[in-house]
Amino acid sequence: MSTHVRHPIWLPALRPADARTFASLYAVESFARATISSVIPIQAYEILHNEQIVSILYTIVSLLGLSVTLFMPMLIRRFARRWVYTAGCLMLAIGSVFFVTHTLPGQLAGMLCRVMGASALSITLNLYIMDHIRKTDFMQAESLRMAWSMFAWTGGPTLGIFLYTRFGIYAAHGAVVVFALALLALFWTYRLGDNPSIRPGKSRPANPLANIGRFIAQPRLRLAWLIAFGRSCFWTTFFVYGPLFMVITGEGKLAGGLLVSAGNALLFTAIFWGRAGKRFGGRRTMTFAYFAMSAMLLLAGGVGAAAPLLTAAFLLCGALFTIALDALGSTAFMRSVRPYEKAQMAAVYRTYLDFSELTPPLVYSLVLTFFGLGSVFVTLGILAAFCGFFTWRYLPKSF
C-alpha cells in the first residue's frame, strides 16, 4: 500500500495540442483585434480632427511597436512563455480601458497596449506552434488557422462599427474585453507548456541588435522575412487604399467597406491553398501566388479610375492569391529557424508587420506626387514580382 499512488481524478484529460488548438486560439484572438480595427482610426480622427496628425500618430505607435517586438525575447527568457501570452491577453483588455477615455493620451496608450498585446500573442503562439506541430504539417496547420480567422476579420470590423455607432464607445470596447478574457480562459484550458528540451542556452544573446545580426546572417530567414513582408504590404495597401480608391472614384464609402469585407471573406480559401501547397510544393505554390498577385495589381493599376468596379475585382483577385501566401508563407520561417533560437528569431521575423505598415505609405507618398492613385497598385505589383522571383530562385525545392 505504501507504493500506491492516488492520482487526482478532477483534472480533465486533454488531447495533445494540434492544428485545431492553435486555430481556435487565433480565431478568438482575431475577434479581439478585428472588432475595433475600424473603430480606432475613427476615434483618432474624432479626437485630432486632422488626417495628417492621425497618420503621424500611427507612425509613432508603429515605431514604438517595433521596439517592443525586438525586446520580446528578453521577456520570454525572463518569464515563462505562458505568462507572456497571458500578459498579451490582458494588454488587449487594458487597451480598451484606455480607449474609452476618448482623450489623446488615452488613445495613444490604448494603441500602444494593443500593439504590445498583439506582439506578445503573435510571437508566443508561433513558438507554441513550432513546439507542437511537425514540420511536415506546418502548411495544413497554418492554412487552417487562416481559414478559422476568416469569421473574425469578415464580421469583426462590421460588428465594432455597429456597436460604436449604435450603442456607443463602451459597447465597442467592452466587446474587446470579453473576447480577450475568453481568449485567456481558452488558453489556460488548453494548458500549453514550454518545451524544456529546446529552450535557448544561457550563452545565447538576448540583445535585440545581436538578434538582428544573427537573423540577417541566415539567408533562409532573410527570405522568409521577405515573403512575409511582401504579402503584408498587400494587406496594408488593400485596407487603406482600396476603400480610398472607391471613395475618390465616386463609388462611395459603402463600396469601400464591402471591398474590404469581401477580401477578408476570401480567407476561407486558405484551406484549399494549404492542400495545393502540400500537393504541388510550397515553393511552386508561393511563387505562382506572387506572380499572379503581381499580374492582378498591374491590371488594377492599369485600369484605374476608368472602370472602378473592374479595378476592385482585380484587387479581390489579388487578395485571393495573397491568402495563399498567408497560408503557406510562415512555413518558410518555421522550417528554417534553429530550435535553440526560436524566440529570438521569431521576434525579429515579426518586424515584417511593423515595416509593412511603415514602408508602403512612405513610398506611395513619393509616387503619388508624380502619378495618380492607380500607381499605388502598380508599385505594389512590382514589389510582388520581385518577391516572387526571389521565392522561386532561393527557396529550396524541398519546401
Q: Could you say which of 3.20.20.60, 1.10.268.10, 1.20.1250.20, 3.40.50.150 is the CATH number of the domain covering 15-193?
A: 1.20.1250.20
d(CA 399, CA 267): 22
Name the average pLDDT for the chain: 84
- Crossing angle (nearest 10°) for helices 19-34 and 81-99: 20
Tell me the pLDDT tens digit for each residue of 35-88. 888 788 778 878 887 766 776 787 788 888 888 888 888 888 888 889 999 999
Q: Which DSSP state fits 195? A: -
- Crossing angle (nearest 10°) for helices 342-349 and 351-367: 20
At which residue does the C-alpha cell 498577385 appear?
293
pLDDT at 11: 44
Distances (CA, A) of 149 to 31, 154, 155, 359: 8, 9, 10, 26
pLDDT at 7: 43
Tell me the pLDDT tens digit for each residue of 183-242. 999 999 988 765 544 444 444 545 777 888 888 999 999 999 999 999 999 998 888 788
| Ramachandran quadrant class, 281 (left: phi over 0; alpha: psi -120 to 50; beta: rest) | left
Q: Domain spanning 208-398 has what CATH number?
A: 1.20.1250.20
pLDDT at 264: 84
Instruction: Provide CATH 1.20.1250.20 ranges for the chain.
Output: 15-193, 208-398
Whole-structure pTM value: 0.78
- Residue 29 sits at φ, ψ, to 5 deg, of -60, -40
